Amino acid sequence: MLRRRALAACTATVAVGALALAGLTGTASADPSPAADAPAAGADRLSPGLLKAMRRDLGLTAGRARARVDEETRAAAVAAGLRHSLGAGFAGARVSGDAAELTVATTDAADTARITEAGARAVVVAHSLAELASAKDALDRVALHRAPKDIPVWYVDVRTNRVVVEAGRGAAADTFLASAGVSRQLVTVSQSTGAPRTFTDLRGGDAYYMNGSGRCSIGFPVKRGTQGGFVSAGHCGTPGVSTSGYNQQAQGSFQGSTFPGRDYSWVAANTGWTPRPLVNGYGTGDVTVTGSTEALEGSSVCRSGSTTGWHCGTVQQRNSSVTYQEGTVSGVTRTNVCAEPGDSGGSFVSGSQAQGVTSGGTGNCSQGGTTYFQPVNPALQAYGLTLVTNATPTDPTGPPIDPGGSWAAGTVYAAGDVVTYGSARYRCLQGHQAQAGWTPANVPALWQAL
């Protein structure tokens, strides 16, 4: 584990990771637009610290960084529309390059014209995303009962249209696949000597300490009703463990924690701590969080940690599974962002959108590495939490009029969920936590009218 125990020095090798970007569903339109009405990615409000990290790690000037985040947001909206309109043939979407060129895969060659008309590059592949996800789910079920030996990571790779299983030994991969009943035709086995571990005692965002014996980082401030607190990594503590803040003052205690299986937790803070919609910018300006809309594979993503500060990279695979010494964690997102001990639990953001909390990985920030984050939306949903943001209603002149229906601000919606708003029904296109003003009628990039 990479939790920093007490204040003792740790090695620079990176620990386990759990990050994930959930799949994007799309609009029913056969010609999804770039969706200028998508929720703002905050490209015009990127903090100086984040821009500096994107320049260092991605080679982007401030202008190019803002343009990339904006284009990635638009690409996600188009991909969401195509996912729904292509139906069972949809085989994944990704962006590439500074211009965020969108590629959409399908199993049906007849869909290529529709994809091209929407402004994306079409690729015809053998396996649908649903087929690959089903195979990975079978592997997850086996790992849930017993973590596989010599199998550190497995994930769906939309770029290669395969389930990738990283293994220390080929025989271990064969046993794992056979136990799950997964065909080798769907799988690429990759040799790996990595040994992921949790980022316990790492810091993403502000540091906090657990019972005086370890250090982790705050992920994102949250509320449950009037109770303030924050989400972090599950491996950082168990319910009842007390916490103190970066200033060593009493802070709160863990109310919920899941690890392994998933890697998320939430801490309730005492009244001396006020949750803010910010991520520590480490002297270069804090990042303001405006929502939690999921980013596409290939999108830029940045991490804030108390040990290593800001570092950036790209989302490689969502819905990954990784085996730590303590057991398997599924549903995390794999990135090429580096991290080191003490960064555990820290914030991953794309633009101004919260993505997840640092779980673990391999490598370090001197030589590079792989880090996984636990997506934030499942953590919010698991504990009934509301992300603290600065999102404001679209009409600030007075209290919003409630037309009735099942849609509610603060609720975590997954792609495919159906709600009512007034007399209309809507289907969720991209996973997110609803914010005031982001009503289905106002944000067609997130909701499709039925």
Q: Which residues in 225-367 belong to E strands, given as ranges?
A: 227-232, 242-244, 250-258, 264-269, 278-279, 287-288, 300-305, 309-324, 327-335, 347-350, 353-364
User: Please, are residues 251 and 208 in contact by the beta-carbon 8 Å criterion?
Assistant: yes
* Three-state DSSP state, 188: strand
Q: Looking at 84, 127, 235, 311, which residue is catalytic?
A: 235
User: Under DSSP, is residue 206 helix (H, G, I), strand (E, B) or coil?
Assistant: coil
Question: CA separation (Å) from 299 to 26, 96, 126, 333?
Answer: 18, 8, 24, 12
Indicate if 344 belongs to the active site.
yes
**Pairing, β 418-421 against β 424-428:** antiparallel
Cα angle vertex 93, ends 233, 28, to 5°? Answer: 105
Q: Which of 85, 257, 344, 352 is catalytic?
A: 344
Q: Pick the catalytic residue from 57, 157, 206, 263.
A: 263
> Which helix H or strand E contains 130, and what residues bound it?
helix 129-145
Q: Residues 6 or more apart from 247 whose CB is under 8 A from it?
A: none
Residue 50 to residue 284: CA distance in whole angstroms = 8
Contact by Cβ (8 Å): 28, 85? yes
Q: Tell me if residue 235 is catalytic.
A: yes
Which residues are marked as active site? 235, 263, 344
